[in-house]
Chains A and B, each alone.
Chain A
Amino acid sequence: MVISGLVVVLRGPSPGEANPADSLRTDPRMTLGHAIGANLPLVMETEDARSAQVLVDEVREIPGVLHVDVAFIEIDPDDAASQPGSAFGRRRAGERPASDFPSAATCTFP
């Protein structure tokens, strides 16, 4: 499970356009906060990193959305499927290995 905190920057609906906040509110994966000016904080829960990215892309495409900022990313450490890749990097879950961490330093520590 991937939990992300986003700020959706709204331009305000053009005449005849739906309020972008309304379409976000109907999505069960989203929990909306209180908008501050044109900035709407929300929390998004998705299955994995890939669906997070797909969802962020969809949000960006909603008429009236100017920009999406990422304020928080948390991935459940027990959920192996969500480990590799950024929720915002369009990489698919499991598509590449993580490098050694922590340091790959070779000296021997006592």
Chain B
Amino acid sequence: MLTTSQTVDRRTFVKRSAMAAATAAAAAHAGRSLALPLLDPNQSGASLSWHKAPCRFCGTGCHVMVGTENGKVVAIQGDQKADVNKGLLCVKGYHVGLALYGKDRLKTPLLRKGGAMVPIGWDEAIDIVAKRIQANPAGFSFYGSGQWTIPEGYAANKFVKAGLGTNMIDANPRLCMASAVTGFLSTFGVDEPPGVYDDIDACDVAIMWGNNMAEMHPVLFSRLVDRRAQGEKVTIIDLTTRRTRTSELADHVYLFKPHGDLAIANGIAHLLVKEGGIDREFVERHCNFRQLGPKPDEKTPPDMLGVPMSFEEFAKAVEPYTPERVEELSGVPAAGIRLMGELFRRRDLRVNSFWCMGFNQHTRGTAINCIVHGIHLLSGHFGKPGDAATSLTGQPSACGTAREVGTLCHLLPGGLAVANPEHRKHAEEHWNLAEGRIAAKPGYHAVELFKRFNTPTAEGGDVTTVWVQVTNPGQTMPNLERNFLRKKDLADKFLIVSDVYPTATIELADLILPSAMWVEKNGMYGNSERRTQQWFKLVEPPGEARDDAWQTIAVSHRMVELGFDGMKDKSGRWLFHTERDGKEIPIWQWEHYYDINVDERLFDEYRLFSRHKHKDLAPYQEYVRARGLRWPVTQQSDGSWRETRWRFSEFDDPYVGKGKGFQFYHSVTKDDRALIWFRPWEAPPEVPDAEFPFWLCTGRVLEHWHTGTMTRRIPQLHRAMPAAYVELHRDDADRLGVRSGDDVTVRSRRGSLDLPVVVGGRGNPKPGEVFVPFFDEGKRINLVTLDAYDPYSKQPDYKKCAVSVTRKAATLSACARRPPRG
């Protein structure tokens, strides 16, 4: 470990830190680990203590060891005991501790008065929120995130669905994971991946379906690359619309036209049918075929559960997707389609598909998720280590909180649905509510919620109060002008924002509640591979900042004090009643919140929901001991708890019947079979034309996590990537007469944004396509994006819309002085 008690000059210190970080990363690559440098060169390191926690950032769910000293986080290292990352972290993870210490942390509640934000006390803030909700419960909506901890999400969900009797809660996984959910539900009848990260270590072929894993899930990508470095053969195929760092290490890079992924996947299905690639035994025993039925009317999409089709009908449906036809639709050479068809056809290989936002932020997101599950099922590349279709999440608890706790407008905890009378009954019993208390009608999904919040009440804008926790819709809503910024002119709308830093959302907030973050509070997350993780509060939040779950609980109790009986169960007991030894603990009072572990109290109540859909969670204390456990976690005869890696596979999943091999026990068709879907390629809703001739794709960068509110306050990451830009292909740049550093205007039918050009950077789009990252609140690309969404998942498409790119006037004169490119 680098100790820093001795005085060294800055350059030497930085060099030592750089070497320590590189050595630790090298050791982690090699399966060993070393401590990382202290964050603060002035710390002595003498009284440092180490604690486990998951990384605050992405859905990979790496574990870090957090070094604390004198009430501060001063050091971070990768957790050697963690299976996920085996001691390795990415550049964001190494710096995660610094996310707590930005200079502009919010420290006191602030109320907008006459255009200025005025400090108020917590009692007044809680009272304002409670009265605002109580005045019009139906007009209130919670909007949370996949960064809500599990107990926070559970508290918010119970607050709305039990306490208010509405389903007006949604969360930002609607913008990132919803199509993966509908893909899993359509195929297996239950959400979340059957496989785990162990598949990465066992596969022979890794197919990146529009997934820049090298930058978005770098630690997982390292697991693949390490295998190669150790002499193993792993074929990496990068299917992408722009060259990225993932492409640099891929054996085959296929650049496809936006929306071409459906054609490619159908092309593989075509080849499996034509060339003997179907695993007949698996398909005949374990699968049914499915397609969408007719549309009930012009505006309504067909039912998501579809109608049966025979194998022969399926074969006929994929017949037109010959490699040559797919080449026309997707731009991928027919030889590439054949190569992938051959890899899927081979039984001696283990094939692992990976995807993330490329599939999900897609107006055909549900369809492409279904087709790729389908080609894995058709070819039998399913349910064995290395044979898997793996969707990766962007947020640390998109799975654990939004999908499992059900903080979406159509869900109840444990994967139950509000529209299902049996599920509502189950939840009502569990929460001790009067029959019929839980509303049957789903609330508004994210885009609809903000559309209504940004519409005058008199014109149907029936959402009048929104409480945003742990997310930043002011930067992430598509078509921001329409879906977020209009609120500023609507006097009767009220926006409450709980956050840790000033954000783009806070610009329009009427009430700001300062929140504790990450290890300033107890927490639990659930990562992309069904792994539930736990950590303890390690340091105090700054100023008056407080836990989000406490804020929700305090408002709930204030509503009881104000006479709102909805916040009580049918026995007249407060929904968050907490007691020890028969004595109530007033957890609504901040000074008593940590008298008991509220996370444990909420989690142990919540986990009983998890059994209904075989997503069994262990008691809280089991997670204290572990580096996460993957559900279903079942109790063994000796009282111990066992996690499950491969769901639906007899060799590992305790819920699969003996002798069955595989069993899809939540099958849509109720016959233990998965569904193989035919979903056709269709043209996207907006395509480039003469006025808007470029495709725009938006996304993330390695250094910043999502909207950059945390990582842009980490000096090392901010300096490494200070501002957004637009990537152009060199041919397009030449045609426009611009080069790297020149400013251009990117304009769509919805808005425009000025950005500096990057040509030949780490990402390289094809001619006619541009890419802009969304991390920079000073340059919000969502002013430009399209708010069309998938009809089933309601997830918007941030990956493609039509834009124009024009030189800025100043650039024009600069260009005019510059000799043409040779």
Residue from A5, A35, A60, A83 within 8 A of B719 (CB atoms): A83
The reply to whether A74 and B716 contact each other, CB–CB distance below 8 Å, is yes
* Chain B residues whose C-beta falls within 8 Å of the C-beta of A40 in the assembled complex: 26
Residue from B17, B721, B779 within 8 A of A72 (CB atoms): B17
From B108-116, B420-428, B543-551, B588-596, the one touching the partner chain is: B108-116
The reply to whether A105 and B740 contact each other, CB–CB distance below 8 Å, is no
The reply to whether B740 and A95 contact each other, CB–CB distance below 8 Å, is yes
A25 close to B (CB within 8 Å) = no
Bound-complex Cα distance A43 to B16 (A): 9
The reply to whether A97 and B228 contact each other, CB–CB distance below 8 Å, is no
Bound-complex Cα distance A106 to B506 (A): 8
The reply to whether B22 and A83 contact each other, CB–CB distance below 8 Å, is no
The reply to whether A95 and B756 contact each other, CB–CB distance below 8 Å, is yes
The reply to whether B503 and A107 contact each other, CB–CB distance below 8 Å, is no
* Chain B residues whose C-beta falls within 8 Å of the C-beta of A7 in the assembled complex: 22, 25-26, 29
The reply to whether A37 and B22 contact each other, CB–CB distance below 8 Å, is no
Bound-complex Cα distance A98 to B741 (A): 12
Residue from B23, B24, B509, B723 within 8 A of A107 (CB atoms): B509
B15 close to A (CB within 8 Å) = yes
Residue from A33, A71, A84, A92 within 8 A of B722 (CB atoms): A84
B804 close to A (CB within 8 Å) = no
The reply to whether B29 and A104 contact each other, CB–CB distance below 8 Å, is no
Which partner residue on chain B sits nearest A68 by CB separation?
B248
Whether A43 contacts B26 in the complex (CB less than 8 A), given A99-B723, A99-B779, A102-B102, comes out as no
Which partner residue on chain A sits nearest B776 by CB separation?
A99
The reply to whether B22 and A102 contact each other, CB–CB distance below 8 Å, is no
* Chain A residues whose C-beta falls within 8 Å of the C-beta of B393 in the assembled complex: none
Bound-complex Cα distance A77 to B720 (A): 11
Whether A105 contacts B503 in the complex (CB less than 8 A), given A92-B740, A99-B779, comes out as yes
CB distance from A46 to the nearest CB of B (A): 12
Near A by CB (< 8 A), chain B positions 483-502 give 501-502
CB distance from B253 to the nearest CB of A (A): 15
Which partner residue on chain B sits nearest A41 by CB separation?
B22
Tally of contact residues, B, Cβ under 8 A: 71
Residue from B29, B715, B718 within 8 A of A39 (CB atoms): B29
Bound-complex Cα distance A100 to B778 (A): 6
* Chain B residues whose C-beta falls within 8 Å of the C-beta of A36 in the assembled complex: 23, 26-27, 29-30, 32
Which partner residue on chain B sits nearest A9 by CB separation?
B229
Whether A101 contacts B718 in the complex (CB less than 8 A), given A36-B29, A91-B741, A108-B117, comes out as yes
The 8 A CB mask of B289-307 against A (1 = contact, 0 = none) is: 0000000000000000000
The reply to whether B23 and A110 contact each other, CB–CB distance below 8 Å, is no
A42 close to B (CB within 8 Å) = yes
Which partner residue on chain B sits nearest A69 by CB separation?
B25
* Chain A residues whose C-beta falls within 8 Å of the C-beta of B709 in the assembled complex: 103
* Chain A residues whose C-beta falls within 8 Å of the C-beta of B724 in the assembled complex: 99
Which partner residue on chain A sits nearest B719 by CB separation?
A75
B11 close to A (CB within 8 Å) = yes
Whether A105 contacts B506 in the complex (CB less than 8 A), given A38-B30, A67-B225, comes out as yes
A-B contacts, 26 listed (Cβ < 8 Å): A7-B25, A7-B26, A31-B19, A37-B229, A39-B229, A40-B26, A43-B18, A45-B15, A60-B248, A71-B24, A73-B719, A73-B720, A76-B10, A84-B722, A86-B703, A89-B721, A90-B758, A91-B740, A99-B776, A101-B718, A102-B102, A105-B502, A105-B506, A108-B117, A110-B110, A110-B117
Give me the interface of B with A, judged by CB distance under 8 Å. 10-11, 14-15, 17-27, 29-30, 32, 91, 94, 102-104, 110, 112, 115-119, 222, 225, 228-230, 248-249, 501-504, 506-507, 509, 512, 703, 709, 712-713, 715-716, 718-725, 740-741, 743, 756, 758, 760-762, 776-779
List the 8 shortest-distance A-B pairs measured between CB atoms, nearest first: A95-B741, A99-B778, A5-B18, A41-B22, A96-B756, A5-B22, A39-B26, A72-B21
